[in-house]
């Protein structure tokens, strides 16, 4: 009997790929293999990231497919209903990215507050910057509002308390009433209360019908003029037209996005937004540290091998 074939459709760290290729129980087809385009007819398993979308049409063609494993938490790039109908298991790697995404979140907050990216761009352009005219803002003792009380939000809160000694406001209508008992915080049941009282607003929720355009014009109207908005979650949570208006009219201090509706972001798609010096945009790299890519990529490989062997895995979604 032939071995199950695992197709790797997106970039994975070389250490994870070595582990996959070392397994005697599967055949690996990597991205540089000429057979990669034949995955719909040949794949027993898929390893993907956010770059690849798996549609209902794909799944209808993929008659052999048994499992899809996505590196990362969000699985909005997979048609879950179609996968369920076809009996295809879908798994992710929850909590693996939490530390690195939280780290980037804090870094972006500091970059906006101290105008680091803006000043770097101006120096590189040859401008003689008068430092007395480009004052930044301190985040010491400031309040962060964390929207989404999951693994990433919790680590952001802990890092904020340790680094800034600031207050924490949390909002999550789905989290247990006992969530975050080890963290000193104020939990609110109305998002508007968080928006009014926070100096920094950090989004850590999945993209769903309920969170689509969660932050739009009425929400920006509630924020302080000195507020910083951070989105290291998913594109679509922030209404980008409303954000453009808020930044252009200085309704908020600044914003940093590691997740956009158009990914990867381009100057063509974001020409107007990128004109704002108080904006930082990074191409969804929250989980992109060497350490995390090795660990989470290895977890994907271990999950694929386990599911193909018929084992139960705790990170299976359907």
Three-class secondary structure of residue 257 per DSSP? strand
Q: Catalytic annotation on 124?
A: no
Look at residues 142, 132, 157, 159 and name the one whose alpha carbon lies nearest to residue 226: 142
The catalytic residue among 284, 302, 311, 316 is 284
Say which residues have a Cβ less than 8 Å from residue 221's Cβ, sequence separation at least 6: 251
Distance CA 169, CA 156 (A): 12
The catalytic residue among 99, 234, 240, 302 is 234
Distance CA 70, CA 65 (A): 14
Distance CA 78, CA 162 (A): 37
The catalytic residue among 263, 268, 309, 316 is 263
Q: What DSSP element (H or E) covers 304?
A: helix 290-308
CB-based contact 303:90 (threshold 8 Å): no
Q: Catalytic annotation on 284?
A: yes
* Bridge partner list, 256: 230, 280
Backbone angles phi, psi at 99, to 5 degrees: -65, -45
> How far is CA 174 from each of CA 189, 191, 296, rounded to the nearest angstrom?
10, 13, 26
Active centre residues (catalytic): 234, 263, 284
């Amino acid at each position: 009997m032939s071995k199950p074939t695992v197709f790797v459709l997106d970039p994975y760290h070389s250490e994870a790929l070595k582990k996959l290729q070392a397994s005697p129980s599967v055949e690996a087809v990597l991205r540089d293999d000429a057979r990669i385009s034949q995955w719909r007819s040949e794949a027993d398993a898929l390893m993907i990231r956010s770059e690849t979308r798996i549609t209902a049409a794909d799944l209808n063609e993929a008659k052999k497919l048994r499992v899809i494993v996505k590196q990362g938490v969000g699985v909005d790039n997979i048609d879950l209903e179609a996968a369920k109908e076809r009996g295809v298991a879908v798994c992710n790697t929850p909590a693996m990215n939490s530390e690195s995404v939280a780290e980037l979140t804090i870094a972006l907050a500091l970059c906006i507050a101290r105008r680091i990216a803006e000043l770097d761009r101006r120096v590189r352009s040859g401008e003689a910057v008068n430092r007395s005219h480009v004052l930044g803002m301190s985040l010491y003792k400031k309040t962060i509002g964390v929207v989404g009380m999951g693994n990433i939000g919790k680590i952001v809160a802990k890092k904020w308390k340790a680094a800034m000694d600031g207050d924490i406001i949390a909002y999550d209508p789905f989290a247990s009433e006992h969530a975050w008992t080890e963290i000193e915080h104020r939990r609110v049941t109305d998002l508007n209360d968080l928006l009014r009282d926070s100096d920094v607003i950090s989004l850590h929720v999945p993209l769903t019908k309920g969170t689509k355009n969660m932050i739009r014009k009425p929400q920006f109207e509630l924020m302080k003029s000195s507020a910083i908005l951070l989105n290291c979650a998913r594109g679509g949570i922030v209404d980008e037209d409303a954000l453009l208006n808020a930044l252009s009219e200085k309704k908020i201090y600044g914003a940093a996005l590691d997740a956009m509706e158009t990914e990867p972001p381009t100057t063509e798609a974001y020409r107007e937004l990128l004109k704002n010096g108080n904006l930082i945009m990074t191409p969804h790299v929250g989980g992109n540290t060497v350490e995390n890519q090795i660990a989470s990529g290895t977890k994907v490989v271990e999950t694929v091998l386990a599911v193909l062997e018929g084992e139960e895995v705790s990170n299976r979604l359907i």
